[in-house]
Amino acid sequence: MKAAFWHGARDVRVVDVPEPQVQPGKVKIRVAWCGICGTDLHEYMAGPIFLSVEPHPLTKECAPLILGHEFAGEVVEIGEGVTSVKVGDRVAVEPVLACGRCHACKSGRQNHCEVIGCFGLNGGGGGFSELTVVSEEMVHLLPDHITYEQAALIEPTSVALQAVRESSLKAGDSCAVFGTGPIGLLTILAAKAAGASPIIAVEVSEQRRQMALKLGASHAIDPTQTDAVQKIRALTNGGADVCFEVTGVEPGLLGAIESSRTGGQTVIVSVWEKPVTVSPNAIVLRERHLMGSFGYGKNIFPAVIRLIAEGRIQVDELITKKIPLSDITEGGFEELARNKGHIKILVSPSAK
């Protein structure tokens, strides 16, 4: 079978490898679609970042590794003891690898596992392969009316829903989303589903601002042309109830903090490459709240599946291109690197 392996920065190779074998408690899946995550792109451009170059504590594997963790497909074989799915079932995969033994895992916060890993980054296999094998507990059944393309966005939508759920946002609260890449746009959708109003997007890309408006933002601000902080304060009578920072750059974080009302909240969703400088007075003098949200807990995937199935979160607009696995480098990673208008590129290992 074909699979895409990360060997180094700008070195992803699609090669023939033996078909993985099913073990007890495992499920073999024929991958239909797998999304290229921002993390995948960072690993391609400048990795290793999260990708294992030393054996991971849970998988005992290291690079070269198969990439891909946003995926869905059809069950083609099950191992001994598997009871929750059968051959022919349509499923999405929750790719978090956790020990199940530490305090975080036992409290339902697998996203804070002491030795957390990710299928498709830290070994075990990956979604950029024709067939892959995962543990039964990672598999979620799909309703018939969710397409495989939509299902490939369940994983990143879970990141956004976690951020909204962990925040103090309530129906009718105002919110601002700084940065409207894939996770930022999904945060807009999640905030909309939670009843936020108004929702204000802050983004330098014209294409992504237009996408934010299309998905439910009431306003979209270009911070290079308009003072975003003053504009948000004017639109919300003094500041947004909750601001979500999804830029990963210092001006985005500072703008989000300053745009929140007195007693308001800023949720940092980005994962940062380097430290930034924040004035504590911006938080203390307005009694603002600052928190982080990382990944998602154990109960988020089922909630996202329901929201997509009910049409409460509509992800189709985020899919800007679909390609076969053979084109993953030039038509996928390189295309995302040079064309910032793309939101989500999906890869089909099964397409020829």
| Domain at 15, CATH number | 3.90.180.10
- Is residue 301 assigned to a domain? no
* 235 and 249, same domain (yes or no): yes
Residues 53 and 137 both lie in one domain: yes
Q: How far is CA 160 from CA 183, 257, 279, 304, in A?
A: 6, 19, 27, 10
Which pLDDT score is estimated for 274?
86
Backbone angles phi, psi at 237, to 5 degrees: 60, 50
Instruction: Label residue 352 by pLDDT band (50, 70, 90).
Output: low
User: What mean pLDDT is predicted for residues 183-188?
Assistant: 98
- Mean pLDDT value of segment 14-18: 97
**Position 303 in a domain:** no
Regarding whether 123 and 175 lie in a shared domain, the answer is no
Residue 272 has pLDDT above 90, yes or no: no
Number of structural domains found in the chain: 2
Both 170 and 214 in one domain: the answer is yes
18 and 138 together in one domain = yes
* Mean pLDDT across 159-188: 97
287 — pLDDT class (breaks 50, 70, 90):
very high
- The verdict on 268 and 144 lying in the same domain is no
Question: Which of these, 322, 312, 313, 314, lies nearest to 342 by C-alpha position?
Answer: 322
Q: Domain of residue 204: give its range.
A: 159-292
Q: What 3-state DSSP class applies to 155?
A: helix
Q: What is the mean pLDDT of residues 218-247?
A: 98
158: amino acid identity, one letter: S
| Same domain, residue pair 136 and 174 | no
Residue 306 counted as domain residue: no
How is the chain split among helix, strand and coil, in percent rounded to 5? Answer: 30, 25, 45
- pLDDT (0 to 100) of residue 131: 98
What is the widest separation between alpha-carbon atoms in the chain?
61
147 domain-assigned: yes
Q: Which helix (H) or strand (E) holds 132?
A: strand 131-135
User: Same domain, yes or no, for 236 and 283?
Assistant: yes
- pLDDT, mean of residues 190-208: 97
Same domain, 133 and 166: no
Question: How big is the CA angle at 37 (ends 349 and 184), to the nearest 5 degrees?
Answer: 140
Mean pLDDT score of the chain: 96
Do residue 107 and residue 228 come from a single domain? Answer: no
Instruction: Say yes or no: 182 and 261 in one domain.
Output: yes
CB 289, CB 266: distance < 8 Å: yes
Q: What is the pTM of this model?
A: 0.96
The residue-averaged pLDDT of 227-244 equals 98
